[in-house]
Amino acid sequence: MIGIRAAGAYVPRLRLQRSSIAAAHAWFAPGLKALSGGERAMANWDEDAITMAVEAARDALHGRERDLVRKVILASTSHPFQDRLNAGVVKEALNLPDGVAALDIGGSQRAGTSALLEALESARAFDGDVLLLGAEKRRTQPGSELELTHGDAAAAFVIGQDELAAEFVGGHSLTIDFVDHFRSEGQDFDYVWESRWLREEGYAKIAPRALKEALARHGLAGADVSRFIMAAPQKGAAAMIAGAAGISASAVADDLAQQMGGAGAIQPLILLARALEDADAGELITVVGFGQGCDVLFFRATGSSAVAGLGVSGWLARRTPEANYVRYLTLAGHLAIDRGMRAEFDQKTPLAALYRNRKAVMGLVGGRCAKTGVVQFPKTAISVAQNARAQDTQEDYPLADRLARIVTHTADGLTYSPDPPCYYGAIEFEGGGRLTVEYADVEPGRIEVGAPVRMMFRVRAHDETRGFIKYFWKAVPDYRAAIPATLAAE
């Protein structure tokens, strides 16, 4: 059988309060007040679809052997690069072997579910696992409804043939060029058609047709469905579609709109990852992805746990409310503030050097002397052990997943940072090795020497002249200690 072996997710820490957005636009669009309840997940300036996908992948792979991964698929409609393999960057950050296939999937409102179908098909051909990732950081026009209803997030699944948490029962797809919103080449924001068109033609006709055909194709009935997952932004749409196919309203899953918003094409993956946190054996889970047609997938839960990391619930619990709408506009790139002269320096990346040092820069792989046990970053040809004269004794020593503690810290308000002050200092890893790093996700006054930190893959800087993004690892407060103990359990 083919199916899901493990699931993971990532939701950014910051949660923009929708009431702040509505209040800022009340002078022009008072109707937005109707959407002002709850909050939306807000990626910081140093987070994008790649960095979020990396964190979701680490969550899904928690405690698992990464050498079993044979292919990486990254689904998104907000890939940072148009002709650099985004999934390839993720592969490097995860320190996967070079003999791994990689694929980007985008250009579709149902990129998430279509990528899941592709991953399931690929798993049949590989003697190993397929790592499916979905991540979205869409730009939304200030003052639009999407600005309030969207949220940034990522999901990840390990697809394989053994020790399954959910068996793949089957799938079905319709492809119809039904356009309710779109974003053309060179445009920053989606153009959205009227909601009635989407409701009466898309949700009332296309989606029920696809769902009914899928049930019939696999000999299933609506009453068999235990959980119905569909990311339909319109209130009541998912229940309407489920009812048209004979699925109970009680089976319709919470869309998490109030807690994080909708992550566009990959929201069905987020909801599936959430369902697998507590699905009982035998439950039939139905996943629907809508956009220019419809994907329908059926999974049968086995009762085995799919989540060894934090999962959707854990990341949702790690939250910091943000009510400063101007800060959001600035970090999202909508507001061009005067950044000062300290921001005026070239961020050109020597691509040859990046390639040669990609294990250290992208994968945070250091060296450990096989004779003395001394850990060094970056890896060097000469041992740094005291009084040792050993050469070429260092073996690869990954540091990204090791807990570390703060040795020194500084909050620098003079150095340019898109989100000042810039926090940086020295950390020491458990097992050895010191590194000077930037700190991220830090609360003012809540950073101290000796505090535990974990590493996260983040944007280091933007080369605005050439459009290149520089990635590296930053230290963040131990997020497993920042959420309820029941969710943080290993």
**Nearest of 4, 73, 11 to residue 40 by alpha carbon:** 11
> What class has domain 3-331?
alpha beta
- Measured over all CA atoms, what is the biggest interatomic distance in the chain, rounded to whole angstroms? 77
Q: For residue 5, give the 3-state DSSP assignment.
A: strand
The pLDDT of residue 403 is 96
The pLDDT of residue 223 is 96
Which pair of tokens denotes residue 238? 């998912």
Question: What region does 256 belong to: left with phi over 0, alpha with psi -120 to 50, or beta?
Answer: left
The pLDDT of residue 371 is 87
pLDDT tens per residue, range 234-266: 888 999 999 999 999 999 999 999 999 999 999
Q: What is each CA distance from 250 to 213, 220, 289, 467, in whole angstroms?
A: 22, 18, 20, 48
The pLDDT of residue 32 is 95
Q: Domain ranges in the chain?
A: 3-331, 341-364+399-482
Q: CA geometry: angle at 130 spanning 125 and 136, to 5°?
A: 135
The pLDDT of residue 484 is 54
Q: Does domain 341-364+399-482 have CATH number 2.40.50?
A: yes
Cα dihedral across residues 65, 68, 70, 74: positive or negative: negative
- Beta strands 284-290; 227-230: pairing state: parallel
Phi, psi torsion values for 312, nearest 5 degrees: -60, -45
C-alpha 222/C-alpha 211 separation (Å) is 9
Q: How far is CA 426 from the centre of its chain?
A: 27
* H/E segment holding residue 373: none
3-state secondary structure 315-348: HHHCCEEECCHHHHHHHCCCCCCCCCHHHCCCCC
The pLDDT of residue 487 is 52
The pLDDT of residue 489 is 44
3-state secondary structure 109-159: CCHHHHHHHHHHHHHHHCCCEEEEEEEECCCCCCCCHHHHHECCEEEEEEE
The pLDDT of residue 267 is 97
Which pair of tokens denotes residue 374? 């001394």
This prediction's pTM: 0.95
Query: pLDDT below 70 — which residues of the chain?
Result: 482-490
pLDDT tens per residue, range 333-349: 999 988 888 888 888 88
